Amino acid sequence: MSALLFLGLVLQVLPSDLPGSQDDSEEIRILLGTDRGSLRVSGSQLELSGGGQPSSPLHSVKGVALRCTRGIISAGAERLTPPVAVEAAGPLRVLGRALRGQVEVHCDGDRWLAINVLPIESYLAAVLAGEMPASFPIEALKAQAVAARSYALMRKIEAREAGRPYHLGATVLSQVYLGLDHEDPRTLAAVTATHGEVLAVGVTPVEAYFHASCGGRTESGAAALDRPLDYLRSASCPCENRSPYAHWRAELSATDLGKAVGLASPVACEVISRTGSGRAARVQFRSAQGGVRTILATQLRTAVGYQKIPSTWFEVHREGNRFVFEGRGSGHGAGLCQWGARIFAEQGKSYRDILEHYYPGTTVERIY
């Protein structure tokens, strides 16, 4: 994809919404949630517009409950054709988050989809605080800002090609987005300092994955994410003994583990193959009845829960009726290691140095 085509797909000029920044040049659409029932939207001087037509301004109310019924949105006595845009004189509050920009509500039958539409630079200021401690050195925060911007814009292109009304979710499965209450002066500074910068190979932006702590060596994109990308190579990292994830221990009952992997009464569990970085690749379970179940270690983490087994860099043994996993690192291990970035920054490395280490062969390019 050429740089001009990339800009043609994603560039939209919007008014600045980020204190201290240049004009924001990108819009991003974040899925906050979806459900049946009513969706409460609060704010000062609310205004709604549905199907491209404005409704009566709701200047006298502090909130409105929206409900989808057979593809039509009701707001009190009004019936509006989706999508319905909700704006306010200041921040909006939806699903426990204070938000910049507007909220757009779509219907899928009787289910609503709440989408926050805002400038990407404002979005990134909140993402940084959700993904990396604001107390980290500024060069680490700037590296995270460029990686998060690159990831968001690539997801935006994919969403447009797929015809989705939103670009990313708001959870760890996309990028953690908690709204403007989680902005911080240091994250704002990191976003402003890197305004419009993305990682690229030639003229193509990259999928800049990142994680909390690799445990001493990052994982390849192929092994961690089934993304065999040349810039997601395994690399050394100084975080091995410096992060809170230098060593972790998790205990799971045989019953719970068996339910997660679909094997009744497992009595044995072992790692039967490992990746080039030393992480578990495939894990085998045996039951008391002689049944055998072999799954990918990445699938095991998904089945059990990412918080219970923080990474695939582990050993496992049985103690009584429980299986004990002992390992290091947190996250999938590919791309930028946030704790490694912190240590590199403390050693005097710039954010460009940090990005070059974790994404070899890429360059930092300003696209707007």
- pLDDT, tens only, 268-288: 999 999 999 999 999 999 999
Same domain, yes or no: 342 and 212:
yes
- pLDDT at position 25 is 59
In the predicted model, what is the mean pLDDT of residues 140-145?
Answer: 98
- pLDDT, tens only, 152-182: 999 999 999 999 999 999 998 899 999 999 8
Alpha-carbon dihedral sign for residues 68, 72, 77, 78: positive
What's the structural domain count of the chain?
Answer: 3
- pLDDT at position 112 is 97
- pLDDT, tens only, 190-212: 999 999 999 999 888 899 999 99
Give the DSSP H/E element, type plus range, for residue 104. strand 102-108
Amino acid sitting at position 61: V
Question: In this structure, is residue 225 part of a structural domain?
Answer: yes
Strand ordering across the sheet containing 322-327: 248-253, 322-327, 314-319
pLDDT surpasses 70 at 353: yes
Domain boundary residue among 77, 109, 141? 109
- pLDDT, tens only, 115-128: 999 999 999 999 99
Q: Which residue has the higher pLDDT, 76 or 223?
A: 223
- pLDDT at position 14 is 31
Same domain, yes or no: 218 and 361:
yes
Q: Categorize the per-residue pLDDT at 347 as very low, low, confident or very high, splitting at 50, 70 and 90.
A: very high
Same domain, yes or no: 336 and 225:
yes
Q: Which residue has the higher pLDDT, 305 or 52?
A: 305
In the predicted model, what is the mean pLDDT of residues 242-253?
Answer: 95
Q: How far apart are the first and last CA of the chain?
A: 17
Same domain, yes or no: 212 and 88:
no
pLDDT surpasses 70 at 364: yes
Question: In this structure, is residue 161 part of a structural domain?
Answer: yes
pLDDT surpasses 90 at 56: no
- pLDDT, tens only, 4-39: 344 444 444 333 333 333 444 589 999 999 999 999
Domain span at 310:
248-327
Question: In this structure, is residue 114 part of a structural domain?
Answer: no
Same domain, yes or no: 82 and 136:
no
Same domain, yes or no: 320 and 346:
no
| pTM of structure | 0.89
β-strand 72-75 against 78-80: which pairing, if any? Answer: antiparallel
**Other CB atoms within 10 A of residue 259 CB:** 14
Angle between helices 254-261 and 297-304 (to 10 degrees): 110
Domain boundary residue among 52, 87, 109? 109
Report the C-alpha gap between 61 and 324 in whole angstroms: 55
Same domain, yes or no: 291 and 362:
no
The DSSP string of 38-71 is EEEEE-SSBEEEETTEE---BTT-SEEEEEEETT
Question: In this structure, is residue 323 part of a structural domain?
Answer: yes
In the predicted model, what is the mean pLDDT of residues 231-235?
Answer: 97
* Residues in a beta bridge with 98: 93
Same domain, yes or no: 151 and 55:
no
Same domain, yes or no: 271 and 341:
no
Report the C-alpha gap between 205 and 219 in whole angstroms: 21
Alpha-carbon dihedral sign for residues 141, 147, 151, 153: positive
